[in-house]
């Protein structure tokens, strides 16, 4: 109990430090754009954003990616899995969202475990095995248990806003340079266009790289199958190179929230990556595989018991339910073409 209280206190302290740092960065960009008045305006905007981000940033991020909430009737097998893993992790049942996206990926969001959500893509359910999906879900639940989701979601909100300020600086500076000799001028504007998003990216990297290793570790303990999570990371990483994630490309400030970087381009484990190298994460999971516990999922080649209260169908055998949308792959049915509701 004491350990949990200390952990929550430290999480709120880190969140406060992050908000203060992002507010200062926001004001600095405002000062470079408009001097003292620009900094004051940025301070007021940042204050409003702090309040908005704390209460609504999770909804905004889910909306950016077209995530739609599902329940035990619409996608029963996924919902039952999240429920079972949440119980094993000692967490309240989060809301479950489905994104109609062919790239296999997932993220978690929410300001605390009692107001949290897990979002997965249809591509994840179609292309990964049941054990691998469980590993991914457990990883996202680990982010919720470690209180990472608030910081990650707020950072995504601020990073996007700072990037917008950088673009605004370029256009306002170019305009001011043409009309008069005031303002930053063309060189300052171009520098702001580059440096403001870079500064926001550095904040993202600082909070996400070590957290991914910790979530992998705890997620493997929750699911009991570190090798299944390792396999999932490898398959998602390979698919992310080949399958574009259009919603992530439109909102790149949210990339650090996903289990694997959803953006196109070469990934490397260096300063300019939002995630550690997948190979390093897999190696860490392989090291802990020998001491992993057993998963509630079926051993390969053996029939799986149906969870209590779960109707027959889908991956538990029988005919897939015809009521509600059903993702393809091991979950039964065909992938929806227009969102998870058809």
Q: Please state the domain extents for the chain.
A: 2-291
Q: Which residues of 224-253 are buried (b: 16+ CB within 10 A; e: fewer)?
A: bbbbbbbbbbbbbbebbeebebebbeebbb
Count, residues in the chain: 342
User: What's the chain's Rg over C-alpha atoms?
Assistant: 22
Please tell me the least confidently modeled range out of 25-39, 83-97, 129-143, 308-322: 308-322
Look up residue 118 and give its DSSP letter: E
Mean pLDDT of 164-173: 60
Q: For residue 255, what pLDDT is reported?
A: 86
Q: For residue 321, what pLDDT is reported?
A: 33
The more confident residue out of 223 and 319 is 223
Please tell me the least confidently modeled range out of 2-6, 66-70, 146-150: 2-6
CA distance 166 to 201: 13
Q: For residue 109, what pLDDT is reported?
A: 93
Q: For residue 338, what pLDDT is reported?
A: 33
Please tell me the least confidently modeled range out of 49-53, 86-90, 165-169: 165-169
Look up residue 260 and give its DSSP letter: S
- Smallest Cα–Cα separation from 147: which of 108, 120, 121? 108
Neighbours of 126 (CB within 10 A): 16
Look up residue 254 and give its DSSP letter: G
Q: For residue 188, what pLDDT is reported?
A: 57
240 with 260: CB under 8 angstroms? yes
Show the tokens assigned to 64: 């950016």
At 335, is the pLDDT very low, low, confident or very high (cuts 50, 70, 90)? very low
The more confident residue out of 159 and 83 is 83
The more confident residue out of 261 and 305 is 261
Q: Which residues participate in catalysis according to the annotation?
A: 140
- pLDDT above 60: residue 15: yes
pTM here is: 0.71
143 with 86: CB under 8 angstroms? no
Q: For residue 334, what pLDDT is reported?
A: 39
CA distance 134 to 118: 12
At 332, is the pLDDT very low, low, confident or very high (cuts 50, 70, 90)? very low
């Amino acid at each position: 109990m004491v350990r949990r209280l200390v952990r929550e206190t430290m999480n709120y302290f880190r969140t406060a430090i992050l908000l203060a740092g992002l507010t200062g960065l926001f004001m600095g960009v405002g000062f470079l754009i408009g001097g003292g008045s620009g900094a004051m305006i940025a301070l007021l905007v940042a204050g409003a954003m702090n309040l908005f981000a704390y209460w609504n940033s999770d909804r905004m991020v889910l909306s950016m990616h077209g995530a739609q909430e599902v329940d035990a009737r619409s996608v029963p097998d996924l919902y039952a899995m999240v429920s079972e893993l949440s119980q094993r992790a000692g967490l309240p049942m989060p809301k479950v969202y489905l994104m109609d996206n062919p790239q296999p990926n997932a993220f978690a969001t929410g300001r605390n475990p009692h107001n949290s959500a897990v979002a997965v893509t249809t591509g994840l359910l179609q292309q990964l095995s049941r054990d691998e999906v469980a590993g991914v879900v457990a990883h996202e639940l680990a982010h919720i248990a470690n209180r990472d989701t608030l910081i990650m979601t707020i950072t995504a909100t601020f990073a996007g806003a700072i990037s917008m300020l950088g673009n605004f600086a370029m256009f306002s500076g170019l305009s001011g340079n043409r009309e008069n000799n005031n303002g930053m001028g063309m060189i300052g504007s171009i520098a702001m266009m580059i440096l403001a998003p870079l500064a926001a990216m550095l904040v993202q990297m600082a909070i996400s790289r070590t957290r991914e290793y910790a979530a992998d570790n705890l997620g493997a303990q929750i699911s009991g199958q570190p090798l299944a999570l390792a396999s999932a990371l490898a398959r998602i990483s390979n698919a992310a190179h080949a399958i574009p994630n259009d919603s992530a490309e439109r909102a790149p400030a949210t990339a650090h929230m996903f289990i694997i970087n959803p953006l196109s381009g070469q990934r490397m484990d260096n300063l300019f990556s939002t995630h550690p190298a997948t190979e390093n994460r897999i190696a860490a999971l392989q090291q802990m595989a020998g001491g992993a516990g057993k998963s509630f999922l079926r051993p390969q080649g053996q029939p799986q018991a149906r969870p209590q209260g779960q109707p027959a169908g889908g991956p538990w055998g029988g005919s897939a339910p015809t009521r509600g949308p059903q993702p393809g792959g091991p979950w039964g049915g065909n992938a929806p073409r227009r969102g998870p509701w058809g």
